[in-house]
């Protein structure tokens, strides 16, 4: 997939070193659910190799360089949980919003997702801004596991339903 500035592509084993370097930054890992700290290249290899059929994961490229990851995990009800992270050198430029918008459009139109859910850890104001720009609706307080911190933390939960115009097009196809 391509956006105005980014290319979203399948992740490969060769991405592990770059993933470990970017996601292994404490400021990134400490605000995610699944990224350990420290994050080794071996752990990144294990993660890439462990992506399941229930997950759609895309590497986010800017000018040929991997800058983050965006994707979703499907559940049995036709819903999916959205997740993303951007390497710290690329923060504050709208890349997470741009990539997540493309991934959600793909999910709604090609993967048949009815509803996206997501959450961010309390205090992650940057992720809250991304989620707001993507049109999510706040659904309530929650908790979320943080692998880097090895604990459950307060979080905020959101949802975004497939636009009804996409649902009509999906039935017509």
pLDDT per position as a tens digit, 130-153: 999 999 999 999 999 999 999 999
What tokens were used for 156?
A: 């905020």
| Domains observed in the chain | 7-172 (3.40.630.30)
Residue 172 has pLDDT above 90, yes or no: no
Q: Rounded to whole angstroms, what are the CA distances from 58 to 120, 136, 153?
A: 19, 21, 26
pTM, rounded to two decimals: 0.92
Rounded distance between C-alpha atoms, residue 93 and residue 80, angstroms: 26
Q: What DSSP assignment string belongs to 48-83?
A: HHT--TTEEEEEEEETTEEEEEEEEEE-TTSEEEEE
pLDDT digits (tens, 9 = 90+) for 82-103: 999 999 999 999 999 999 999 9
Q: Rounded to whole angstroms, what are the CA distances from 3 to 9, 86, 132, 142?
A: 11, 16, 19, 32
């Amino acid at each position: 997939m391509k956006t105005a500035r980014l290319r979203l592509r399948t992740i490969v084993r060769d991405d592990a070193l770059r993933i470990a370097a970017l996601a292994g930054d404490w400021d990134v890992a400490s605000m995610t659910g699944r990224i350990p700290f420290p994050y080794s290249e071996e752990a990144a290899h294990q993660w890439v190799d462990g992506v399941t059929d229930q997950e759609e994961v895309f590497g986010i490229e800017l000018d040929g360089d991997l800058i983050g990851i965006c994707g979703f995990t499907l559940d049995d009800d036709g819903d999916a949980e959205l997740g993303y992270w951007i390497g710290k050198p690329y923060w504050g430029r709208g890349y997470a919003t741009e990539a997540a918008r493309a991934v959600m459009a793909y999910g709604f139109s090609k993967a048949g997702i009815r509803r996206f859910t997501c959450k961010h850890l309390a205090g992650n104001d940057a992720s809250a801004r991304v989620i707001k720009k993507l049109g999510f609706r706040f659904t309530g307080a929650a908790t979320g596991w943080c692998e880097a911190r090895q604990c459950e933390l307060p979080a905020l939960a959101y949802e975004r339903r497939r636009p009804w115009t996409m649902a009509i097009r999906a039935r017509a196809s």
